[in-house]
Structure 1
Amino acid sequence: MDEMRAALFDRFGPPDVLYEGTVPVPGIKPGEVLVRVHASSVNGGELHGRAGRVRLVTGRRFPQRTGLDFAGEIAEVGSAVTEPLKGTAVWGILPRRMGSMAEYVAVRPRQTSAAPAGLTPVEAVSVLAGGTTGITALRDKAGLRPGERLLVRGASGGVGSVAVQLGKVYGAHVTALAGARNRDFVHALGADEVLDHRTTRPTELGPFDVILDTVGTRHRDYRKLLAPGGRMVAIAFDPGHIGRSLGYILASAVHGSRRVRFFSGNPRHDLLAELARMAETGRVRPVVDTVRPLAELAAAHAALEAGGVRGKHVVRIL
Structure 2
Amino acid sequence: MKAVQIMGFGTADVLRINDVDRPAPGAGEVLVSVGATSVNGHDVIVRSGEVKMMSGRRFPIGVGLDFAGTVAATGAGVESYRVGDRVWGMVHPRQRHSVAGAAEYVVVSANRVAHAPADLSSVEAASLVVAGATALIALRDSVHLADGERVLVRGAAGGVGTAAVQLAHSMGGHVTALARDRHAGLLTDLGADEVLDYGSTTSDQIGPFDVIVDTVGSELNCYRSRLAKGGRMVTVGLSASALGAIAASSVHGSRRIRTFSANPETSVLRDVADLVTSGSLRPVVDSVYPLADIATAHQAFERGGVVGKHVVTVPRSSV
TM tier, smaller: over 0.9
State the partner residue of 2:21: 24
Runs (5+) with no aligned partner, structure 1: none
| 1:289 maps to which of 282, 286, 290 | 286
State the partner residue of 1:133: 134
Asked if structure 2 preserves the Cα contact closer than 8 Å seen for 1:37 and 1:70, the reply is: yes
Length-normalised TM-score, structure 1: 0.95
Asked if structure 2 preserves the Cα contact closer than 8 Å seen for 1:36 and 1:72, the reply is: yes
Instruction: Return the offset for 1:256.
Output: 4.4
Aligned with 1:67: secondary structure? Answer: coil
What does the per-residue CA deviation read over 1:164-222, in whole Å, with 9 as the maximum and x for residues that have no partner? 00011100000011112222222221111111111100000100000001000011100
Aligned with 1:24: secondary structure? Answer: coil
State the partner residue of 2:64: 67
State the partner residue of 1:270: 267
State the partner residue of 1:247: 244
| 2:3 maps to which of 6, 10, 13 | 6
State the partner residue of 1:187: 188
Aligned with 1:206: secondary structure? Answer: coil
Instruction: Return the offset for 1:27.
Output: 2.3
Asked if structure 2 preserves the Cα contact closer than 8 Å seen for 1:19 and 1:295, the reply is: no
Once the two structures are aligned, what percentage of the paired residues are identical? 50
Instruction: Return the offset for 1:251.
Output: 3.0
Q: Distance in 2 between matches of 1:145 and 1:263?
A: 20
What does the per-residue CA deviation read over 1:97-146, in whole Å, with 9 as the maximum and x for residues that have no partner? 45111111111222111100111111111111111001100010000001
Q: Distance in 1 between matches of 2:310 and 2:140?
A: 26
State the partner residue of 2:310: 313
RMSD (Å) for aligned C-alpha atoms? 1.2
Instruction: Return the offset for 1:245.
Output: 2.5
- Superposition pairs of residues 126-275 of structure 1, within 5 angstroms: 126-238=127-239, 242=240, 244-275=241-272
Aligned with 2:159: secondary structure? Answer: coil
State the partner residue of 2:32: 35
Instruction: Return the offset for 1:286.
Output: 1.1
1:79 aligns with 2:79: no
Q: Distance in 2 between matches of 1:85 and 1:256?
A: 47
Change (3 A) 1:229 1:85: same
Q: Distance in 2 between matches of 1:65 and 1:226?
A: 40
Q: Distance in 2 between matches of 1:290 and 1:158?
A: 12
Q: Distance in 1 between matches of 2:269 and 2:250?
A: 29
Q: Point out 4+ residue stretches in structure 1 off by more than 3 angstroms.
A: none
Q: Which amino acid aligns with 1:155?
A: A
Aligned with 1:254: secondary structure? Answer: helix
Q: Distance in 1 between matches of 2:199 and 2:172?
A: 27
Q: Distance in 2 between matches of 1:190 and 1:159?
A: 14
Q: Distance in 2 between matches of 1:169 and 1:7?
A: 37
Q: Which amino acid aligns with 1:203?
A: D
Length-normalised TM-score, structure 2: 0.94
Q: Distance in 2 between matches of 1:201 and 1:82?
A: 53
